[in-house]
Structure 1
Amino acid sequence: MPSEDFLQRYRQSIEDELFQNVLTFWDRHSVDLELGGFFACLDEDGDIYDRRKFMWLNGRQIYMYATLAETYTDDELFSLSNSKLSRDKLLKDAEVAANFMYAHGVREEDGKVYFSLAEDGQPYHIERKIFSACFLCLGVGSVGAVLKKDGEDRAAKFIEKCVWLLKRIVTWSRDPSLLGRETCAGAPITSPMNVPMIILNVLHELQTKGALSTESAARAGIDLAMEEEWCISEILKHVKRERKQVLEVVLADGSLCPGYDGRHMNPGHAIEAGWFVLQYANRSGRADLVQVAEQMITWSFEEGWDKEHGGLFYFLDAEGRSPVYLEWDMKLWWPHNEAMIAFAMLYETLGKEEHWESFVKVTDYAMSHFSDPHNGEWYGYLNREGKVTHRFKGGPYKGCFHVPRSLFMVHQILRRCSAKAGVASD
């Protein structure tokens, strides 16, 4: 077990990174104070280089701001950020953004959710997947949950919109053709892991925050227990124990998909799905799933770690062939964020020294390679050797989410571990 001093050192480092380097960057540069919503395309110094508003990133930032407002008092945030962050401002910005993105981002005729909007809210690009709806649902529900705890009457409208979106997400997940995705005759029917893993996480967050209950879900025609079990069974199709691998795509029955699609491995996704499963196992008391989650995380980390240069590869081929994706050997920010969460959570759950060592390994790499202490936030894209390839801090797929979520969750976990260590030492 790491010493209390060692735990405290990492906890303090992550606390400073979250509240003084990362969140302050987004608070300074991303908020549209005039119209509402968040800009994501921010250059190295925070300069806005594209004023579109992306639904994935707005929904996630709304969630992140609401989560901070749920967790900390105004005095705590003020102290942690050296007087730079305010709970009231974070919650207000989240609420305004939720109203703006929902009003402009949900198509009236069919409820489909746009991928991006122009600065003034005009539709820019429609998505034919569930994820824009998932992240808007997560953000809107999180705002509603905080307002509910604050005793605000307007909480009900956010929670109502959240549940309405969730019903559509569940429907689309079973029949993607409703989103306009054409099925071609020669293509096999596959099961992608990203759909059930994201739904599982959305359901967890909405329930633990108090935005969703068994009763409210049932009124919308959603059986929560059945839905979570569907997510778990779909994810487990991708876990190939005989190969000690987690595959990104399998056939609908769980068998191997032919060609390079079936050999495709995304270590970051597999690790993220692993901690989603662990989170569900801990909440539901499913001890049988703890080992599965541990295997998903450790197998993917061991195979994905670049033993020559350090860091996690973006993509791999399950048979060791050359991956067809040109960016396969790049080091992206978010797989490292997911591994930080996963190993911190595994260590808290199981207390194994090996998981703490893996946490330290990935955290040290991430903090030394991605973080920019001069301008704030993290760079997102490195080459295999660990050199920055793209100077921007935010883009169409990188916003105020993976970095602050990982730092926030790890900070909370290390606080609990420190408390336990203190009790043990007494």
Structure 2
Amino acid sequence: MISTDLILGDLTAQSRALAAGRTSSVELTRAQLDVIASRPDLNAFLHVDAEGALLAAAASDARRAAGQALGALDGLTLAVKDNIDVAAMPTTAGMATRRGRVAAQDAFAVARLREAGMVLLGKLNMHEAALGATNDNPHYGRCENPHRAGYTPGGSSGGSACAVAAGLCALALGSDTMGSVRIPAAYCGVVGLKASYGRISTGGSVACSYSLDHIGPLVRSHRDLALVMPVLGVFDAACADARDVADRPSPPKPRWIAASDIEALGTSPAVVAAYRKALQALRARGDEVREISLVGYDFGRARRAGLLVVEADLLVEHAQDWRAQPEQFSTELTRFLRYGEKQSAAAYAGAMRTVAAAHVEVARWFEHGDVMLLPTAPQQAFAFGEPVPANQADLTSIANMAGVPALSVPLPVAEGELPVGLQLLAPLGGESTLIAADLNGICKS
């Protein structure tokens, strides 16, 4: 029988257990499916393929018995946000218009993980069309925050973060357009990575924005990224939005950059306190932390420009359904699309200029050090029904606009408190710096 500690353990611990023969992939998968079945209240999964998962697990065990394991991920479980294709499974993108649509083949990222031997459990809940950060889905039901019932897990990859945090899977794929991997990671207390633009192929996903979309992993610990990224970060020549990103050398000890005026950016007192405590811990162990002012950059204006770009892209991505069955779009999504329809080409061009200015601001940051530290979200998770904070994605969207890698890790909080995320940003190609960063004593994972 598999222990609860192993089920709630990270990929690294589970991989070691498989390698040592302490468990099998079939045992692990059965246990994982049992946990999923025991938590319908979370509404994290929209589709579970128990039969297919157990067949894949048995195949993994056979490879391992023959001494032919495919690597550290072979036999471990995976779940995928429902805007990323998995062959023979639905891809709803959280939309009523896409009910019953089944993918013909795996998305590139999914194929890479399956080739590494991972066992695919099913598809995960998300915010409608990936446009929103609450995962209060009007068509498939809201996904709950596993730390507190009635609270948002964040979005749009809310099901992905919820599933990882609640032990329903150890690795989930999400998508991130303006923070949709990192905000749920922060709200649910897990680790989420948005790599450099194009590093992880978006091929086989339903677009939210062609210029801002990223696919990214959510895991339980920072160390797991060293197992996952070599598999995911492979150039996809068939994807127009993929990039062959050059690796930036990782410094032996990064120089940290921080915001001297984080309070002025609309950050809640609880998040500010956790952020300042993390900076203090870095300084206490002798790390260099240089604080700079950020008030000269209008995060809110940039976020609004990014939203206009998203609205225009969604009108293209869903054009046929929007013309044929507009009544199947929620009131919220309809409002966004109607607004996008009214905008001129000049307004769109102006928004793109504002988006591009993020490159200049981020370059200014890295004149002062190697890794920028920010809160992931300006607030903690909030109750469904409360007003959605306008600034939810202010601190995350800049990484999408500049195309730089950004990582959210959970900070220590008091027992019973909702999670807080710390965001680390590196220059383009700097994933290795984020993955190798010494976060012992700083982050919770």
TM-score of the superposed pair, with normalisation by structure 2: 0.26
More helix by share: 1
More strand by share: 2
TM-score of the superposed pair, with normalisation by structure 1: 0.27
